Amino acid sequence: MPDHDSTALLSRQTKRRRVDIGVKRTVGTASAFFEKARATFFSAMNPQGSDHDVEYSVVQHTDGEKSNVLRKLLKRANSYEDAMMPFPGATIISQLLKNNMNKNGGTEPSFQASGLSSTGSEIHQEDVCSNSSRDSPQECLSPFSRPTMSQFDMDRLCDEHLRAKRARVENIIRGMSHSPNVALRGNENDRDGVPCSMSPRDSYRENKRKQKLPQQQQQSFQQLVSARKEQKREERRQLKQQLEDMQKQLRQLQEKFYQIYDSTDSENNEDGNLSEDSMRSEIIDRRARDSVGRSDNEMFDLDPGQFINRARALVREHELAPGNHRKREGMKDKNPFHNIFHPESKHLAETLKQELNTAMSQVVDTVVKVFSAKPIRQLPQVFPPLQIPQARFAINGENHNFHTTNHHAQCFGDVIIPNPLDTFGSIPMPNSTDQTEALPLVVRKNSNDQSVSGPPPGNHHVSLHQSPLSAAASFSSSSFRHPFPLPLMAYPFQNPLGAPSSAFQAKDRASPESLDLTRETTSLRTKMSTHHMSHHPCSPAHPPSSTDGLSLSFIKSECGDMQDMSDISPYSGSAMQEGLSPNHLKKAKLMFFYTRYPSSNMLKTYFSDVKLVVRKLDNQFNRCITSQLIKWFSNFREFYYIQMEKYARQSINDGVTSTEELSITRDCELYRALNMHYNKANDFEVPERFLEVAQITLREFFNAIIAGKDVDPSWKKAIYKVICKLDSEVPEIFRSPNCLQELLHE
């Protein structure tokens, strides 16, 4: 660095009062990095890539082979969109069902109108749908909303016996298929009319800052905002789609098994397994029998086609087995599934069901985790018409009466989706203050809709030369009610260090510390929200008095639209960190013990995990991240030097005359102050080198002050120059995304 000893620089010194002259700059070679980021960004935006992402996400959290069959089935199922098509594709399920259809007259079964629940469910659906249709018309256009289904069902329901069976199995399904789609609805009632609740002070501050916010910064923020929003929405959409498909498949498969049970009724009654037992005992029986079934696992790896063949072979094999009490010689083997009368076949059926249920519940669990990860707030008032207290107990409690529980089930076409209150009874639904909504302008991947989003009247300076994405963002953010469709920049609940599972604990009421940390890292978002609110004097985010939810509501309000709640990828684990988390801050602080002047490149490498996902979006975001990291270290230094100066002056006042008397030990006041700042939890062993550097710094300050150099406005510059050379190597362990865990558990 020529700066360090530049004589020219020194010659100009008199003109400059800056003290940072001479300290090396952390110049980053950002261009290459950004090019890479751009490439990944576009690849992330193309549909295929996204599909892979989603699929991978699901697979990631299932039990590997256990759901292989199901996944293969779903792969095919994904190809068809129309849920009205009774048995599309060539999946096992459709084959099974086709066969069964021939037998039963081809009526597509539905439980929507079962007994008492029909009208109630439909009404609920109507309400929810009409509410959400304003902003997310696709919700209502989804194949799930079909009011005419009950016609067919009424006929079917004449068969009481069949219905009873259905009820039992359906109860199982209900227990497992927790659809977030339902939960996502209904929160939009409160969005309107949120009173302007910004304190004069805040508004002053906001005005003061918004006016001076560089235009370029605004645009870049909006770009990244919209890009992230779009990705979130896309992820969510695909997740939802997948869930719907799975539910559809599950539903159809269930139907098939009812038919099987019909034909094996007599046997079942003999066994007493499936007669009138409670659901619980049925499940237990099922599991018990499954555990007996031996070769089931082989089937998980089979192709769907192979699977059917295998099943066929299984059935036939059993047919031919001696001692089989049912003779089938007379029956044609055209359709092997007409012959499923054996316990073996039942095993097959049970296994299929079990696997479907398992996979389904796993997928659903991941979705539910997203919701449970949200901070717990009071029970929402957003589902007034849906609040039926008993519903909640039906799931976990003993009430397995289908007719009562199903009463609260949301019926969407041929898929029964439980009432959100059933399944999310203890899980907070964001209330109006947290309202995030489906933006009316759905930003499509192709983003060829620049024309759609013309510059809104109130948007003066953000719409001229911006990308389609940012154009969409500005449009949606300023023309509609939600002022900040902001991306998830730093969600606190996927911290590799913090309490990863705390989100699922009842006490997860966000400890004060975590609140604090959360707030710290919310700044990047607040920066953005500041801008976004500039056109919206009314902030629906939170009333100033809600101290508890200050940071939390910030996060929630900025997480974009309501449906993005489900966008928060549950598959993140610890590897996927969006934005800088409190743990990144902690890590940065620990790194400060080694380096006071990290280069931007160093920061990029040591915090590369931040960009695991983010870099797919755009460069602006990366720049924000890096800038924030640099700012962090700048703040660290500020504190550090302030402490040094303070301590040096204090020592002088205490009569210290020689630097020899100044030493920094681990129990001195200065060390404690620093340790408290950078290592609050005191769970990190501060390296000895830091003590040396601190001591050198202190003595530099001491000498400078003794020499009276502090009259020079830039007297600290020399000290900075010294200190910036004292950086030591940051241990490799800090490169690991999980370095905190490793560091603190050693």
Residues forming the site for DNA (CB under 7 A): 1-3, 9, 12, 15-21, 23-28, 30, 205, 208-210, 212-213, 216, 520-521, 523-524, 526-527, 530, 580, 585, 589, 597, 599-600, 623, 626-628, 630-639, 641, 677, 716, 720
| Identity of the residue, 205 or 403, whose beta carbon is nearer to DNA in the bound complex | 205
Shortest Cβ 456–DNA spacing (Å): 22
**Strand pairing partners for 415?**
412
Shortest Cβ 24–DNA spacing (Å): 7
| Identity of the residue, 21 or 331, whose beta carbon is nearer to DNA in the bound complex | 21
| Identity of the residue, 26 or 574, whose beta carbon is nearer to DNA in the bound complex | 26
Single-letter residue type at 368: V
CA angle 45/48/54 to nearest 5° reads 85
Are the beta carbons of 221 and 628 closer than 8 angstroms? no
Strand spans (E) along 52-102: none
Which residue is it, tokens 């966000």?
Answer: 510
> What DSSP string runs through 121-183?
HHHHHHHHHHHHHTT-HHHHHSTT--TTHHHHHHHHTT-HHHHHHHHHHHHHHHHH---HHHH
Sort residue 655 into left (φ over 0), alpha (ψ -120 to 50) or beta: left
Shortest Cβ 718–DNA spacing (Å): 12
| Identity of the residue, 2 or 322, whose beta carbon is nearer to DNA in the bound complex | 2
Of 723, 715, 724, residue with least CA distance to 649? 715
Shortest Cβ 481–DNA spacing (Å): 23
| Identity of the residue, 50 or 600, whose beta carbon is nearer to DNA in the bound complex | 600
Shortest Cβ 632–DNA spacing (Å): 5
Of 470, 530, 484, residue with least CA distance to 194? 484
| Identity of the residue, 214 or 322, whose beta carbon is nearer to DNA in the bound complex | 214
Reduced to 3 states (helix: H, G, I; strand: E, B; else coil), residue 412 is strand
| Identity of the residue, 400 or 604, whose beta carbon is nearer to DNA in the bound complex | 604
Alpha carbons 172 and 400: distance in angstroms, whole number: 9
Residue 578 is classified by DSSP as -
For 493, the token pair is 């609940």
Alpha carbons 577 and 614: distance in angstroms, whole number: 8
Shortest Cβ 540–DNA spacing (Å): 19
Reduced to 3 states (helix: H, G, I; strand: E, B; else coil), residue 48 is helix
Dihedral pair phi/psi, residue 380, rounded to 5°: -70, 150
Which residue is it, tokens 């020689």?
Answer: 658
| Identity of the residue, 270 or 638, whose beta carbon is nearer to DNA in the bound complex | 638
Q: Output the CA torsion 627→631→632→634 (10° steps).
A: 140
| Identity of the residue, 453 or 534, whose beta carbon is nearer to DNA in the bound complex | 534
Q: How many whole angstroms from its chain centre is CA 516? A: 21
| Identity of the residue, 356 or 580, whose beta carbon is nearer to DNA in the bound complex | 580
Shortest Cβ 13–DNA spacing (Å): 9
For helices 550-558 and 523-532, angle between their N-to-C axes, nearest 10 degrees: 60
Alpha carbons 647 and 668: distance in angstroms, whole number: 11
Shortest Cβ 676–DNA spacing (Å): 11
Shortest Cβ 514–DNA spacing (Å): 14
| Identity of the residue, 19 or 149, whose beta carbon is nearer to DNA in the bound complex | 19
Shortest Cβ 45–DNA spacing (Å): 22
| Identity of the residue, 1 or 164, whose beta carbon is nearer to DNA in the bound complex | 1
| Identity of the residue, 83 or 674, whose beta carbon is nearer to DNA in the bound complex | 674
Alpha carbons 566 and 561: distance in angstroms, whole number: 10
> Which residues have CB under 8 Å from 453's CB, separation 6+?
441, 468, 471, 472, 474, 475, 476
For 545, the token pair is 């008095």
| Identity of the residue, 328 or 527, whose beta carbon is nearer to DNA in the bound complex | 527
Sign of CA dihedral 74, 78, 82, 88: negative
Alpha carbons 517 and 514: distance in angstroms, whole number: 5
C-alpha distances in angstroms, 237 versus 72, 110, 233, 654? 20, 25, 6, 67
For 697, the token pair is 């710094």
Shortest Cβ 457–DNA spacing (Å): 24
